[in-house]
Homo-oligomer: A and B are copies of this chain.
């Protein structure tokens, strides 16, 4: 399953798994980097500004991260894992035993959950999406680790739904793509409008419409 992760990836995952051994200054750097990267993009950010905003000397950054890119990856790679973490949890496999009242109920719950996650981590998501096209390591992780795991775990649940005739008969990746893109569109527009004064944006209704849209589109 772990199909020989590359060393840098092992380290990153391990670093995250093994709790926060971070110095206070290091975590200040970490947070500041998230801020600046999200604000100006990776290429548009300078290590000097990150240091400044973290309240540390520029050299301190390189004490903890060999390069600027390593700092980026240490932020973004774990995010991809966290993004799919609910699907890897045991509870998720229990869908087989627990017979949900409706597909709706189950799907709604998980969609709401992921929307919540995305909104609480808007900066991380922004950085991830921005850098995905430019960082081959990230694309590799997505393709070799994230996609397969998603396909395997979620695939089983979707297969069950399909076999019960409660969901449209399409390939699992296609179904996921359609659902995910609707959610991403919702999140994207929401962040475009930000939280504004004269906002003509009824969030509850928009979210409901999005979920309904997905459900109706994926109905058999």
**Chain A residues proximal to chain B, CB less than 8 Å:** 40-41, 43-44, 126, 130, 133-134, 139, 170, 174, 177-178, 180-182, 184-186, 188-189, 192, 206, 209-210, 213-214, 216-219
Q: A178-B182, A185-B180, A185-B181 are in contact. Are A126 and B133 (CB under 8 A)?
A: yes
- Mind listing 7 A-B residue pairs with CB under 8 Å? A41-B134, A43-B43, A43-B44, A130-B133, A139-B192, A178-B213, A213-B218
Q: Which of B41, B139, B177, B210 contacts A178 (CB 8 A)?
A: B210
Contact of A177 among B41, B177, B185, B216 (CB under 8 A): B185
Q: Which of B126, B139, B174, B213 contacts A217 (CB 8 A)?
A: B213
- Taking CB atoms, residues of chain B closer than 8 Å to A139 are 192
Closest beta carbon of chain B to A127's beta carbon, Å: 11
16 more contacts with CB within 8 A, not counting A41-B43, A182-B182, A216-B216, are A40-B43, A40-B134, A41-B41, A43-B43, A43-B44, A174-B206, A174-B209, A177-B185, A177-B186, A177-B189, A178-B185, A178-B213, A181-B186, A185-B185, A213-B218, A216-B217
